[in-house]
Amino acid sequence: MTGALASFLAVLALGAGAPARAAFSKADAGASGADFLNIPVDARAAAMAGAVAASAEGAAALAWNPAGLAGLSRREVASQHGSYLGEAQVQRLGFASPLSAARGTWGLEVMYMSVGSIGRTDVAGADQGSFKPHNLAVGAGYARSLGLWQLGGALRFVQSKISKTASTLALDLGTRLELAPGIDVGAALRHLGPGLTYGQRDPLPTALQAGAAWRPRERWLLSADVSLPRDQVPALHLGAETSLYRAAPARIVGRLGYGTRGLGVEGVAGIGFGFGLRWDSRTATLGLDYATLPTGELGLTHLVGLSYSWGAPASPRLPPPARRAAAPPPPKRPAARPREQVPYWPAKGEDWMAPAVPVKRPAPSPSSER
């Protein structure tokens, strides 16, 4: 386990090296574009204040740590909806399918955000109509287990429209490691890319997040993450998940979280709480998740998610059977000793030898008796 931990810390060190320090410079604070990528849409993760770097699961893992896709054993489709301040609405649709435990899992997602209509005026303040800003992200990801490690990545097409439209590509990289039974650590470097260009380049909201998840008992999950975003101060995220009721085929899970990102906000902020319902059948599972996030004087944010997984659990791809070695040839039987050939009559001058088979001697002729 010591070697595995050293490898995990090495990954974090690479992520926090000179390139990462340049990406997280204070000069870029508050100057990022495509901020909608940081909006928590997954109700489970939002209720746990985003502390899911080591515990992201299902098709929603693509949005937090793509390495979490590797833990999926069945095909899953998930839909999330979030109602934010004003008329802001966020929709996300994701799908993930395991190939096998040996070949990994792939996933797709689409995220769309609209903020309603915004009035347009000229320099003199005259009404120039309205426009409808929106944001779009379409991505694909892949993850695979390598022993105790889970490695994953995702690539997204990002488009943002305000009065003009800009687009770019963003890359996510993630890893997760099982340190011991019930203890996982994970890290994700999200939103790497060239940024959006309207008239000037606005960098993407790149963020590094790392944390640990611990299951002290089967019904409990405790997690803690640290995030280092480009455009905000570092933050601590704490989350908990517990099973409130479990009797086949139903399950009820409660969740709670706190993040220091809410410090300094007027009123109650930084807290998340919610629940999850699961209904299991022999071949499928239906899930409902809900979370609410107080945002100080601005009120509450509500998130709802539906998920459906089906199919037989993916089985590991067995290695091809070893080619059966050809059976050795049977030992050769010793050659039979040739039977000694004995002449019927002895040669002239030799003693008589009994023939191998009885022979009948011819009767002497009368002339020989005389």
Convert the pLDDT of each residue in 154-180 to its tens digit: 999 999 888 788 899 999 999 999 999
Convert the pLDDT of each residue in 109-123 to its tens digit: 999 998 877 766 666
**Can you give the C-alpha Rg of the chain in angstroms?**
38
Residue 275 has pLDDT above 70, yes or no: yes
Of the two residues 214 and 341, the one the predictor is more confident about is 214
Domain layout of the chain by residue ranges: 11-117+131-310
CA dist 159 and 157 (Å) reads: 7
Convert the pLDDT of each residue in 346-361 to its tens digit: 555 555 444 545 555 5
Considering only 84-98, 244-258, 260-274, 298-312, which range has the smallest mean pLDDT? 260-274
Convert the pLDDT of each residue in 290-348 to its tens digit: 999 887 777 788 999 999 999 877 654 444 444 445 566 666 666 655 555 444 445 55
Rounded to 5 degrees, what are φ and ψ at 353?
-125, 135
CA dist 94 and 107 (Å) reads: 7
Task: Identify the pLDDT of residue 122.
Answer: 66
**Phi-psi domain of 195 (left: phi exceeds 0; alpha: psi -120 through 50; beta: other):** left
Decide: 220 and 231 in contact? Cβ < 8 Å: no
Q: Shortest CA distance to 206 belongs to which of 193, 218, 220?
A: 193
Residue 370 has pLDDT above 80, yes or no: no
Q: Shortest CA distance to 274 belongs to which of 53, 91, 52?
A: 52
Decide: 70 and 104 in contact? Cβ < 8 Å: yes
CATH architecture of residue range(s) 11-117+131-310: Beta Barrel (2.40)
Average pLDDT of 257-275?
Answer: 77
Decide: 107 and 95 in contact? Cβ < 8 Å: yes
* Structure token digits, residue 215: 């299951």
- The rounded percent of the chain whose pLDDT value lies above 90 is 49
Task: Identify the pLDDT of residue 180.
Answer: 92
